[in-house]
Structure 1
Amino acid sequence: MADCSLPHDSLFLGFDTSTQSLKATILDSNLSIVETELINFDSNLPHYKTKDGVYRDTTVNGRIVSPTLMWVEAFDMMLLKLSRKIDFGKVAAVSGSAQQHGSVYWKNGSSVILSSLDPKKQLVEQLREAFSIKESPIWMDSSTTEQCMKIEEAVGGALELSRLTGSRAHERYTGPQIRRIFETQPEVYKNTERISLVSSFMASLLVGGYSCIDETDGAGMNLLDIKQKSWSKKALDATAPDLEEKLGKPAPAYAVAGLIAPYFVERFHFSSNCLVIQWSGDNPNSLAGLTLNSPGDLAISLGTSDTVFGITDKPQPSLEGHAFPSPVDTKGHMVMLCYKNGSLTREDIRNQYAEKSWDVFNKYLQQTPPLNDGKLGFYYKEHESLPPLPAGFHRYILQNFMGDSLDGVVDQEVNEFDAASEVRAIIEGQILSMRAHVERFGMPFPPRRLIVTGGASSNECILESIASIFGCDVYTVERPDSASSGAALRAAHGWVCNAKGSFIPFECIYKDRLEKTSFTSKLSAKAGDPTVVTKYALMMKKRMEIEKRLVEKLGRW
């Protein structure tokens, strides 16, 4: 493997512009975290009057946006804070992560403003009039249902759009957002010189010019041909006229966006040789931060929403999940599944059936047998996107189920289980759904490596259930902020690729020294009994049959 040594005494800086905050992580040349910092938008920038970093429009159903200038001012504030902690002159490369799907609209002539920033002034002072829309649509926005339907129809249907761009049309995706602006605010669209994602917007600030959208984050737009890694003419034509010139060319995630702009050299004393590596989305950076790099690597993030993501070389077109070009390789794809009903739904069952206690919840998990005596549950506290079902709880008992065949097995719907069975049913139901949709999406099974993150990753009983259903060892990480630390790791990787003059495998950065870095994972649950894993496969098949019936009966667009 190539020599991937990093310059001694150098630093690598990673940012994460999330919905509610701006985070920074700094790694040294040994890939150990030396400093972190956080700016909370609501509390540190109260004059924008956001709640959880956003505005919820009460006049337009589903419209949720963030003030673009808030991100600029937060960046000013972050750099000032970091300048008191580290020597920016030692930063060899910087990269970043940002909430996916959010978009920024640069006004005609703004490229001149970007290229002539005055180091004596803050960024926010100089960019107040740089945007044709002052509030950026973000991933929470759901005002584009009509545009989604029109785009799918124009390209030949939802599955064709998924085959082409990696996903069916989603309301939060950037393409439908652009179409809505073109349809409802044509003068604004005409006055827009460049459209950035939040990731490429932040990179543009650093290089003093319009940065490319990276291929991975670009796949979250319903606009990129994920096989060709270029904009799809069919998808562009279905969205808005003259769109390609407003987007610029996509670029690989490991590529150099440019040298850091003179503004930052003079104002904050960065080295003029500091590289800016393409920024990408938060999920791709989390994948990098968890050191997932090969087909079969999989992560499950257990949070308010549960997310499953990993790497495959053969993604299957899907109406349920998302495929992106890999952020850590020139081949392969990152695939992702998103569930709206995660920790809050688990907490709801805990509160109803386990005395509002995780100790009682876990006791019930330990008391009940794997496969829950054939009891299956579908628990949706909020309307779910995977599968597309309204809020509601659905419980079934599989009669004659012994785990060795589905012959003669019938399901009977019931109103309620006993308390212990309710607890096991929600955990097994959520994990079985993850396994089923991972397999349907073309992920290798069982996973080569499975890492679990998020708040519930500290629950050993849940981890043991994951190991039993997926049939593999389960690892966890103690490190927080995988998106910003992943961005810093990608900065180091981009630096090495640039130094070598070609792409270098991502794992080269930390291979043979992983245990000495900030990216160590630990074994937390051993693989389940193979016989039980096989029985879970049959229960999963039956669950998917019931899920299909529910979608046909209750599902929505």
Structure 2
Amino acid sequence: MAAAPDSPLYLGLDFSTQQLKVVALDGSLAVLHQDGVQFDSDLPEFRTQGGVHIHPDRLTVTSPVLMWVKALDLLLDKMKRAGLDFSRVRALSGSGQQHGSVFWRRGASQTLNQLDPDLSLHQLLQDSFSVSDSPVWMDSSSGQQCRALQAAVGGALRLADITGSRAYERFTGNQISKLRGTRAEDLDNTERISLVSSFAASLFLGGYAAIDYSDGSGMNLLDIRRRSWSEVCLEATAPHLDRLLGDPLPSMSVLGPVSSYFVRRYGFSESCRVVAFTGDNPASLAGMRLQQGDVAVSLGTSDTVFLWIQEPRPALEGHIFCSPVDLQAFMALLCFKNGSLTREEIRNRCTGGSWEAFSVTLRETPLGNGGNIGFYFDTKEITPPAVGVHRFASDDSESHLSRPAGGLLESSGGGPGSGGGPVPVQEASC
């Protein structure tokens, strides 16, 4: 049954790695509208591949923060042209890719509070960020900072006991520490540090949105039991960091009314409320309505497996986050970096970009593949911390065609001087 023309609507947005998506629901959770903006194709001027820039060292991975801003401009304009009545929206919330960080330049809060509705967000905020390219979850360039943080708190297991995870390169605390050590002037010029989720909420709020407990758990900075910043972790990362982060709050918190910018430019109601945004993984747990004992597997740009738990037991592998829906519960998660982008690269190489042709080839392959198996780590993996493509035959010997990240195959039959030179990637079989 179609919703009444004046019935309330609720918006959910997802600032993911490759696109910005939106869904509009009515009070019974029926989907009335959905749309999206693909970063690579809809915003080609930013020259991303898979929504990111992989730098020459192949460890540093970033996304242009203004790309996310401009994507929101495009998405809201598309929704307006489609006839969505924003005045019906009673509340909005959303999610963002975990571990991405946004550094707001000094004076940005005043800009956010005085947005001119005659101009796009992209125009208004182009000078509001002290770091133009945001580190994202695929980044693994802060190993030195990870080791320093673990040493400062008493070891990897102690850090995991406090924050839910040992030190990981992509986690925001270690990215802040790297910025402090390599570009201190940019950190000095920073007024506020957001996660992608709280950054997105800030755009709608017209002021800095707080980091929520659940997404904040993926920073190596939050004490997951006390649900507040860990003083020892803050001190080991950067001076006066608590001022740059603000106070964290529950993931279901109502932050306040939508900014007057959206009221005047798009026709939102002044009574529309902005609910805290959270990370995409915690949002998946909430959206799937997981309960204790449930386990979910998500195959996306990263692949994850996660579950609801009551008692945190942090370890050296995997992560424990605060639950986004229950202040007494937690979620456990394993994340694998080489997900859909790796699968798409193999599809493109083997079947010219066609999933249909790939499926045919897969069906024609005997079950078990003759005992042959491959591990594909185009970028340095999280668990295990490996890189390259490694193929093994049925006798467990490594195939002569194994490829390091970077687009070449090489012989694994010998070390230096063995004569096993690089082989073009197109010569590889799937």
- TM-score when normalising by structure 2: 0.82
CA change 1:184–1:16 in 2 (3 A) is same
Per-residue CA deviation, residues 209-243 of structure 1 (Å, 9 max, x unaligned), is 00000111111111000001110001101111110
CA change 1:304–1:25 in 2 (3 A) is closer
Matches within 5 A, 1:320-399: 320-340=317-337, 357-361=361-365, 364=367, 379-382=374-377, 384-389=381-386, 392=390
- Shift of residue 19, structure 1, vs aligned partner: 1.4
From 96, 107, 110, the equivalent of 2:108 is 110
- Shift of residue 110, structure 1, vs aligned partner: 1.2
Whole-angstrom CA distance in 2 between matches of 1:390 and 1:210: 38
Q: Which amino acid aligns with 1:327?
A: P
Contact 2:117 2:265 in 1 (8 A): yes
CA change 1:355–1:144 in 2 (3 A) is same
> Is 140-149 or 242-251 further displaced after alignment?
140-149
Whole-angstrom CA distance in 2 between matches of 1:12 and 1:63: 37
Name the counterpart of 2:81: 84
1:328 is paired with a residue whose SS is: coil
Contact 2:17 2:301 in 1 (8 A): no
Contact 2:51 2:63 in 1 (8 A): yes
Structure 2: gaps spanning 5 or more residues: 1-5, 351-357, 400-430
Name the counterpart of 1:22: 20
The structure in which a higher percent of residues are helix is: 1
Matches within 5 A, 1:437-456: none
Contact 2:12 2:92 in 1 (8 A): yes
Larger RCO (alpha carbons 8 Å, 6+ apart): 1
Whole-angstrom CA distance in 2 between matches of 1:163 and 1:135: 31
Name the counterpart of 1:415: 397
Name the counterpart of 1:308: 305
Task: Count residues with an aligned counterpart.
Answer: 380
Q: Which amino acid aligns with 1:49?
A: R
2:24 is paired with a residue whose SS is: strand
- Shift of residue 393, structure 1, vs aligned partner: 5.0
- Shift of residue 358, structure 1, vs aligned partner: 2.6
Q: What is the identity percentage for the equivalent residue pairs of Structure 1 and Structure 2? A: 47
Whole-angstrom CA distance in 2 between matches of 1:347 and 1:109: 42
Matches within 5 A, 1:46-125: 46-58=44-56, 62-85=59-82, 86-125=84-123
Whole-angstrom CA distance in 2 between matches of 1:127 and 1:156: 41
> Is 13-22 or 77-86 further displaced after alignment?
77-86
CA change 1:346–1:33 in 2 (3 A) is closer
Whole-angstrom CA distance in 2 between matches of 1:103 and 1:346: 26
CA change 1:51–1:340 in 2 (3 A) is closer
Whole-angstrom CA distance in 1 between matches of 2:309 and 2:161: 15
Whole-angstrom CA distance in 2 between matches of 1:389 and 1:269: 50
Q: Which amino acid aligns with 1:228?
A: R
1:26 is paired with a residue whose SS is: strand
Q: Which amino acid aligns with 2:154?
A: G
Q: Which amino acid aligns with 2:38?
A: N
Per-residue CA deviation, residues 82-107 of structure 1 (Å, 9 max, x unaligned), is 12331111111100111111111111
CA change 1:346–1:193 in 2 (3 A) is closer
Q: Which runs of 4+ in 1 moved over 4 A?
A: 340-349, 393-396
Pairing 1:317–2:314 present: yes
- Shift of residue 360, structure 1, vs aligned partner: 3.7
Whole-angstrom CA distance in 1 between matches of 2:301 and 2:190: 35
Whole-angstrom CA distance in 2 between matches of 1:385 and 1:197: 20
- Shift of residue 379, structure 1, vs aligned partner: 4.7
- Shift of residue 187, structure 1, vs aligned partner: 1.4
Whole-angstrom CA distance in 2 between matches of 1:341 and 1:74: 25
- Shift of residue 185, structure 1, vs aligned partner: 1.2
Question: Who wins on radius of gyration, i.e. which is larger?
Answer: 1
> Is 323-332 or 40-49 further displaced after alignment?
40-49
Whole-angstrom CA distance in 2 between matches of 1:224 and 1:14: 26
Per-residue CA deviation, residues 300-332 of structure 1 (Å, 9 max, x unaligned), is 124564310111011211111011100121221
Q: Which amino acid aligns with 2:397?
A: N
- Shift of residue 297, structure 1, vs aligned partner: 1.5
1:199 is paired with a residue whose SS is: helix
Matches within 5 A, 1:497-512: none
Structure 1: gaps spanning 5 or more residues: 1-7, 369-374, 397-412, 418-557
- TM-score when normalising by structure 1: 0.64
Contact 1:12 1:92 in 2 (8 A): yes
Q: Which amino acid aligns with 2:307?
A: G
CA change 1:261–1:379 in 2 (3 A) is same
2:134 is paired with a residue whose SS is: strand
1:249 is paired with a residue whose SS is: coil
1:205 is paired with a residue whose SS is: helix
Whole-angstrom CA distance in 2 between matches of 1:225 and 1:57: 32
Whole-angstrom CA distance in 2 between matches of 1:280 and 1:248: 15
> Is 221-230 or 304-313 further displaced after alignment?
304-313
